[in-house]
Amino acid sequence: MGSSPSKPASTAPSHVWQSETPVRFSQELVDSLQSSTETDSTRANTLELHVQARVAEELKRLQAREESTLAALLEAEKNESATNAAPSAESSAGDTLRSLGRESVAKDVAKLRERLEQRKKMREVGELDEEVDKARGEVVRCLRGNDTRPLDCWREVKAFREGVARLEGGWVEKVTKSWWHGHVGKSSKIASIEFKDQHPLAPASSGHLWTYFGPLTSEPRLEVMCSG
């Protein structure tokens, strides 16, 4: 047992396939291979140059696509900026108009308040009639109901102004006649009465020119020309 040689390792049987038809190459191919001077190194260099050319071409194509994409993005951003700038300009113009409108409305409201204060003074002396008082109440009521839109009260303001103008005209005429008869005399006749805020009065070459100052302001309200 100990002296018996070990068995050789068994190997897998090998099979050799043989083609029934022999492989043949044309004589031209054989001559071309034999006459070719290209070696393995030259073939490797040629392949490397071909690969480098393909890589450079692909990089160039990718760069062109990136430049095109970047140009499209810049154009879109430019158009968006122009679109956003237009509403900004319109908004600025609208803000300016609204600011001017607020200033104009504030001035009108201030004038209206001044008129209302004047009406209070006239009311104290019993000169405010029912129609003007009613118009004043309509203005106050409208302004309270439209405190953010005072321009909506233009009808009430117009009616109030017309009533005030009528009342002032009658009041001034009455006061003027009373003053005239007391200071000038009944023998003198009133030749003309001109309201300073409506008609300019051209001075006459003869007669006396009298200037009336309103009871509420120091500005001349009318001029009276007498004759005789």
Burial 7-28 (b: 16+ CB within 10 A, else e): eeeeeeeeeeeeeeeeeeeeee
Instruction: Give me the percent of the chain exceeding a pLDDT of 90.
Output: 0
Q: Which one, of 175, 129, 137, 183, lies nearest residue 156 by Cα?
A: 137
If one compares 107 and 125, the residue with the highest pLDDT of the two is 107
Q: Which one, of 121, 155, 124, lies nearest residue 138 by Cα?
A: 155
Band of residue 183 on the pLDDT scale cut at 50, 70, 90: low
Residues spanned by the domain of 210: 185-228
Residue-level pLDDT at 2? 52
Arithmetic mean of pLDDT, 82-107:
67
Q: Would 213 be classed as within a structural domain?
A: yes
Overall number of domains in the chain: 1
Band of residue 198 on the pLDDT scale cut at 50, 70, 90: very low
For residue 191, which amino acid is it?
Answer: A
Q: Would 216 be classed as within a structural domain?
A: yes
Query: Is the pLDDT confidence value at 100 over 60?
Result: yes
Query: Is the pLDDT confidence value at 175 over 50?
Result: yes
What is the chain's mean pLDDT, rounded? 67
Band of residue 180 on the pLDDT scale cut at 50, 70, 90: low
Round to whole Å and give the CA distance between 95 and 86: 14
pLDDT digits (tens, 9 = 90+) for 116-140: 776 666 555 455 567 777 888 888 8
Residue-level pLDDT at 93? 63
Residue-level pLDDT at 220? 44
Band of residue 82 on the pLDDT scale cut at 50, 70, 90: confident
Arithmetic mean of pLDDT, 146-153:
78
Q: Would 41 be classed as within a structural domain?
A: no
Q: How many CB atoms are located within 10 Å of the residue 122 CB? A: 19
Q: Which one, of 176, 154, 164, lies nearest residue 119 by Cα?
A: 164
Query: How far is Cα of residue 169 from the mean position of the Cα atoms in its chain?
Result: 46
Question: What phi-psi label fits residue 207: left (phi over 0), alpha (psi between -120 and 50 degrees) or beta?
Answer: left
Residue-level pLDDT at 182? 55
Query: Does residue 134 sit in helix, strand or coil?
Result: helix
Residue-level pLDDT at 218? 44
Round to whole Å and give the CA distance between 173 and 177: 6
Q: Would 201 be classed as within a structural domain?
A: yes
Residue-level pLDDT at 188? 47
pLDDT digits (tens, 9 = 90+) for 12-67: 667 767 767 777 777 787 777 777 666 767 777 777 787 888 888 888 888 888 88
CA dist 93 → 87, 96, 97, 149 (Å): 10, 5, 6, 20
Q: Would 221 be classed as within a structural domain?
A: yes
Round to whole Å and give the CA distance between 148 and 105: 10
Q: Would 224 be classed as within a structural domain?
A: yes
Arithmetic mean of pLDDT, 84-97:
63
Q: Would 105 be classed as within a structural domain?
A: no
Q: Would 222 be classed as within a structural domain?
A: yes
